[in-house]
Structure 1
C-alpha cells in the first residue's frame, strides 16, 4: 500500500511506517501497551480525528488508522514534545496539508488497486476459460465414442458453471470501475437468482453441496448487477469451506419481509470483525491464516449491492461450535439478508 503516514489496517492491527513520515520511536516501543491497545480498540469504528493517550493525532479512515502524527489542533503539544526523539522526523501539519498529502497518495493507491484487481480478474477468467476448454474436449470425445449421456451431462454442467462465473467476473469489473453507473431497474425473482447461483457452483472441485430450504415468490425491483449478489455470497461460502461440507440457504418469507440465511463452515470471525469484513480489502484474522487467496472484495461488493437496494446484511460466527482444521479455527458462519417491502 502507498501510505504517506504511519498506519495499520483495521483487519490486522500491524503498524507500518509511512513513506513521508515514519513511526516515532515512542510509538514503535509502546504500540502494544495496554493503554494504547484499549484506545485503538475503542476508536477503530469511529471515523475521524482522535488524540491518543500519548498525545499524537490519530485519524480513522474506512479500513485503516493513521497514527503517530501531529496535526494543529489535533494533538497534545506538551505530551508529544517529551516523547519525540532527535531522530524522529515528525513535522507539525495543518489539516489542509494532511488531506492534500493523503489525497495525492490515494490517487496512486487507487490506480495500483485497480491494476491488481484487473490482474486477479484476468487470472480467474483464464482459469475458468480453461475449464470450459477442457470440459468441451472431454464432452466432444465422449460424443464421438457414443458414451453415456450422464457422463456428457457432467461436462456440460461444468461448462455452464464456468461460463456463468465469467459473466459474473465481468459484471464485477464493471461495478468496480463504475459503482455509480446503476442503469435501469427491473423486477427480478430473488429465489431464482439464488437457485441459479447454487447450480453454477455445485460442481466446484471442493465437492461442497449447496442446499436450498424453503422458497419465495418475492421479486425485487433491482439493477442488473443484483444478480452478482447470490454468486458472490455463495462463492465466498464455498471458497472458505473445508471440503465435503454442506452450505444451506434458508428462505423465510412473511407478508412484507424476506430473510435469507446462508449457513456454512468457515474461518471463525471475531465479534469485532463482523462489520469490518464488509469493508474493502478487509479479511478476518482467521481467514488470513488459510491457504485461500483473496483480496477482501467479495463481501465488500455484496454490501455495496445491498446498500443500493436497501437490503440489510449481517454476519454471525458461532465460537461455541468451533474446531481446528489445518491450524485454522473454523466455526459455523451465517450471512443474513433482510428484505423489507
Structure 2
C-alpha cells in the first residue's frame, strides 16, 4: 500500500489502492473517472474534475496512475472539496512515483535473468535427449541391441528433467507457488541426473561415475533434481578431456550427503566464498570463454537452503593435476540435506 492513492491499469483490468495517509473522495473513482484514467496521456493531464493526474507505464506494462492532485502553484480546480488532503507540487508526485517504477523494473530484470537461465538449461537438456536418441539409433543400426535399453532410459531421464525445468518456469511465474512438498528419495533423484548426463559426458570424452547409496529421504518440493543437475552441468562444462566426474552418495545419522568431485580451473582464495553468489564468475571461468550466466550455482544454493534446509560448500586442492595440458585442480562440491522419514 502507498501513502497516496494509486491506480494500476492493465489489459486484464484495473486495481485501485487507496492511500494509507492521504486519500481522494469517492468522486475520483467513478466509472467515468476510471475511463478517463484509462485513456489519458502519460505524464501530466487534468481530469474532468479539474485536478491533476500523473501517470507512467512501468516495465511490466502496467499504467500507474496518481489521481486527484491539487496542484500547488497552478490554477485552482473547478470542483472544490473541503479540507482536501492531496495538495502537492508536480515534482513531489514525480519523485514519489519513481521508486514504484524502479521496483517494477527490478522485478522484470530478475524475471528476465531467471528465464534466460532456464532457457539455457532447457537447451542443454534437449541436447541430452538428442545425444541419447542418436546413440540408440547407432546401436540399432549396428545390431548392438544390448545398450539400447540404457540409452532409452537416458532419453526418459532427460525428458523428465525437461519436464522439471518447465515446472521451474511455472514456479517462477507463480503458477506453482503452493506446490506441495513430498518425501524425496535422494539417491533416485541423483541417479536420474547421472543418467541424463552420461551420454553427453561420453561425447565430451569425460567419464562420469555414481557410487554409494542412500535408502533415506528428505522433504521438500519435487524440484530436488535441479540441485545435482546444476552442479554436474557446471562440472562437465569445465572438465578437460580424459578426466572424470565422481558422484558419491552416503548418509549419516541425521543427514544425507552427496559429493561431486571433478577437475576444473583454479578458484582463487577470494573467490571460493563467492561462487554461489548471483551473477558471479571467477577469473578462470571468464578467461575460459565457456558460456555461463553465473546464476546456476546461486540457484542450487538457494533451492537447497530455502526448500530443503540443506547446505552446500565448495573446496579445491592446491596441487596442480598433471596430464591435462594446462593447470587443472581437483574440485569438490558437497551438499547435505536432513533425513526426513515417512513415519
Is this a same-fold pair by TM over 0.5? yes
Q: 1:108 aligns with which of 78, 100, 105?
A: 105
1:255 aligns with 2:253: yes
TM-superposed deviation, 1:236? 1.4
The whole-number CA distance in structure 2 between the counterparts of 1:324 and 1:104 is 55
Task: Describe the SS at the equivalent of 1:250.
Answer: strand
Residues 1:209 and 1:134: Cα distance change in structure 2 (over 3 Å): closer
Structure 2: distance between partners of 1:326 and 1:104: 52
Shift of 1:181: 2.3
**1:305 corresponding residue in structure 2:** 303
Is the partner of 2:224 in helix, strand or coil?
Answer: helix
Shift of 1:167: 2.5
CA RMSD, Structure 1 to Structure 2 (Å): 3.6
For residues 247-268 of structure 1, what are the alpha-carbon distances to aligned partners after superposition, in whole Å with 9 as ceiling and x for unaligned?
1122332222333211111122
- Which blocks of at least 5 consecutive residues in structure 2 are unaligned? 1-94
Provide the secondary structure at the position in 2 that maps to 1:271.
coil
SS of the aligned residue for 1:260 comes to strand
1:136–1:249 distance in 2 versus 1, CA, 3 Å: closer
1:319 has 2:318 as partner: yes
SS of match in other structure, 1:114: helix
TM superposition shift of 1:234 = 1.4
1:336 aligned counterpart, secondary structure? strand
TM-score, length-normalised on structure 1?
Answer: 0.59
Change (3 A) 1:119 1:340: closer
Gap change, CA 1:323 and 1:108, over 3 Å in 2? farther
User: Which residue in 2 is equivalent to 1:49?
Assistant: none
8 Å Cα contact 1:268/1:322 also seen in 2: no
Once residues 304 and 100 of structure 1 are traced to their aligned partners in structure 2, the CA distance between those partners, rounded to angstroms, is 32
- The number of equivalent residue pairs is 243
Measured against aligned partners, the alpha-carbon deviations of 1:111-165 in whole angstroms (never above 9, x if no partner) come to 345335535644654565466468657856975x683314645753553354244
Alignment partner, residue 238 of structure 1: 236
What's the secondary structure of 1:156's corresponding residue? helix
Question: 1:3 maps to what in 2?
Answer: none
Measured at CA, do residues 284 and 110 of structure 1 come closer, stay the same or move farther in structure 2, by a change above 3 Å?
Answer: farther
1:190 to 186, 189, 193: 186
C-alpha distance in structure 2 between counterparts of 1:286 and 1:212, whole Å: 27
Cα distance in structure 2, aligned partners of 1:229 and 1:340: 15
Aligned to 1:42: none
SS across alignment from 1:159: helix
Can you give the 5+ residue segments of structure 1 that lack an aligned partner in the other structure?
1-97
**Which is higher, the Rg of structure 1 or of structure 2?**
2
